[in-house]
Amino acid sequence: MIEDKNQQRTALENLGEFGLIKHLTKNFGLNQSSSIVGIGDDAAVLDFKDKKTIVTTDMLVEGVHFDLSYMPLKHLGYKAVIVNLSDIYAMNAMATQITVSIAVSNRFPIEALEEFYEGVAMACQMYKVDLVGGDTTSSTKGMLISITALGIAEENEIVYRKGTKPNDLLVVTGDLGGAYLGLQVLEREKEVFKVNPNNQPDLEPYSYVVERQLKPEARMDIVELLEKLEVKPTAMIDISDGLSSEILHLCEQSGVGCNLFEDKIPLDPTVISAAEEFKMDSTMIALSGGEDYELLLTIDQSDFPKIKGNPNLTVIGHMAMKEEGAHLITRGDTKIPLSAQGWNSFSS
């Protein structure tokens, strides 16, 4: 919570916009040789030489994408960067720079923004990206965050959502469903806190799923792993809105169908037990939960021996002819059409 009465609070107007940017970014250095000029001039200067530039941007709005009653600002700064880097890695590219713009109301003191930028700095350090620009402005209510990420790749290494073909194998990294269940735990504890503010939640049994929600990681390691294994995916996307939604994106972009096998979907044991506690179906959570930021990719069958047995990669199905449609094959061997029930920011 940012409303800590014992904490020192410095009003934003004490520094002004340029003073605030200078204050918040004073400890950011440059890691990338492509960053010629970072923060401090009218614009950044970048030199990518003969590589292709990848650009993605994302906006996060308080009350829609995050809740500060249980999301620490340091975690929010980290996560805000991660969700953008994930899109770069989904193109089989390496992230290099970011810009961060925020709008905040006067309920946020400078100390709160320092916490947020600590998280941004941690992400920059972990993923070796440079903060090269951004903006700060006022908001009539709440906090808005807009981050742009840039990356580079050789033209022949870029992987798109389109490109997969029938009989390609459908592969996913890590495990799914944790982030959504972490959100359920946090929302439940928030309601308990409202009723009894003296009740301190015990989140230890849920540490894995809560961390998946509050501090996800982008899969830069997978881009490096695939290069090492000499595997170039035929298509790739990151899982931000739920597995079924992302599979359907690949099918639509490539004009193919798909068979996804329920018993192959990777689930952490804590996800299964938490799903049972919330009386939810773990498969449905994996299909529709979202925010896992794992990578979903397709590979040619000839590449299967290269990934076989790798603990980071799980084959969960295969692509099919478009006429066959996209289906989930249940544990009981029933074919169910896949539907995109993932998170939608425009739904009520």
**Binding residue numbers for ATP:** 117, 134-135, 161, 240
* 296: β partners: 172, 237
- Kind of pairing, strands 295-299 and 235-238? antiparallel
Give the whole-angstrom CA distance, residue 347 versus residue 127: 33
Q: Which residues are annotated as a binding site for Mg(2+)?
A: 42, 56-58, 87, 135, 238, 241
AA letter at 229? L
Sheet holding 313-320, edge to edge: 235-238, 295-299, 169-173, 313-320, 257-261, 326-329, 335-337
Q: Which residues are annotated as a binding site for substrate?
A: 65, 291, 343
Q: Which residues are annotated as a binding site?
A: 42, 56-58, 65, 87, 117, 134-135, 161, 238, 240-241, 291, 343
Supply the Cα-derived Rg of the chain in whole angstroms: 21
The per-type count for the chain, helices as H runs and strands as E runs, is: 10, 13
Whole-Å CA distances, 3 to 46, 108, 124: 39, 9, 27
Query: Which strand (E) or helix (H) includes residue 131?
Result: strand 130-138
Show the tokens assigned to 254. Answer: 């490539």
